[in-house]
Amino acid sequence: MNPLKQGTMLAGPVLLAALMSGCGGGGGGGNGSETAGVAADAVAQASSRLGSPAIPQPASGAYFGAWANPQGIKGPTAAEVESATETLESQIGRKLSLHMHYFPWRSGSAPAFPDETMQFDLKAGRTPVVTWACGDSNANVAAGNDDPLIIATAQAVKQFGAPMFIRWYWEMNLPAGTNNQDCMGESGAKGYIAAWKHIHDVFKAQGVTNVSWLWNPAGSSRNADSLPYYPGDDYVDWIGFDGYDKVGANDFGPILDSFYIEFNSHDKPMLIAETGECAAVQSAYLALAQAEIEGKPNPGGYSFPLVKGFMYFDAPGHYAPCTWNFGADGTAAFAAMGADSFFQPVP
């Protein structure tokens, strides 16, 4: 799913250097030193929870998160993003441990992230899951033509300090243009892998240790096999998966199963980064997902022990038969899922 295409998130960047130097970020009236102190404390606390370079899989259970924009606001402000997130948290009676973000690739060298929405995450104790769209051809990225942007982003992420996932060029296995991303060019999967490795290596060269690299294809009846795009175990910390019920399964298990079978031999923790179901059957869908991830009895006999994180896409999307945002029953089911001890770990 691409909220950048449907306009669900284009929040502006925060001036990180100003924040770190104690300058207020938003139009007067704030205490800059106090703001910087809160941010610094949050960074220290988050970093102490983590250890680097990768966000570890929980010793037991799974992380729990979402992207919340149920009204489908186009280009929401940071305040609107935070308000929607806090509303969902109030409805389910808990804080999210993971929070999704969507950022564009930019020309020049001005990073799109970290931004103010991620500062809100720090203060709330959430870990950002950064979705970074492609924007130039893979060949150009791999050749170093975009290094000013990549280096500047790496430096900003390093200065941010707190742990985050980055999933660059997610859903790369969908047909060109389907996800508003068309960066393959003639190099195909090999070019994608070269570009992924180049970005990874630039971040490493800049001394970035607070990123877990989330390789994240899509599950779809239209997709090409995702295996040719896998960059290799040395370049992937977590394996992500986006899968929506567009086939009337009314069950999470059949959506994930073939992908899980294909990639479980890598023994990497898996994060369900995006999933969605029509409101009429959300309750059953989430209850089955919970049982299947926890390894409890379920009608299909599914069991996904490598799934160490689950996130829901609480936004309209662009699927004609229905929207993905929560109905009342879905919200209640998500709350029940989040209340389970299995989903209490925090990165």
> Which residue spans within the chain are E strands per DSSP?
63-68, 98-103, 127-132, 164-168, 211-215, 218-219, 238-244, 270-276, 307-314
Residue 8, classified by CB atoms within 10 Å of its CB into exposed (0-12), middle (13-18) or buried (19+), is buried
| The length of the chain, given as a count of residues | 347
First to last CA, the chain: 25
Q: What is the DSSP letter of 343?
A: G
Residue 21, classified by CB atoms within 10 Å of its CB into exposed (0-12), middle (13-18) or buried (19+), is exposed
Name the nearest CA neighbour of 182 among 228, 132, 138: 138
Name the nearest CA neighbour of 146 among 181, 87, 105: 105
Q: What is the DSSP letter of 131?
A: E
The set of catalytic residues is 171, 274
Indicate the SS3 state at residue 337. helix
Residue 261, classified by CB atoms within 10 Å of its CB into exposed (0-12), middle (13-18) or buried (19+), is exposed
Indicate the SS3 state at residue 189. helix
In whole angstroms, give the CA distance from residue 3 to residue 152: 24
In whole angstroms, give the CA distance from residue 149 to residue 160: 16
In whole angstroms, give the CA distance from residue 119 to residue 125: 10
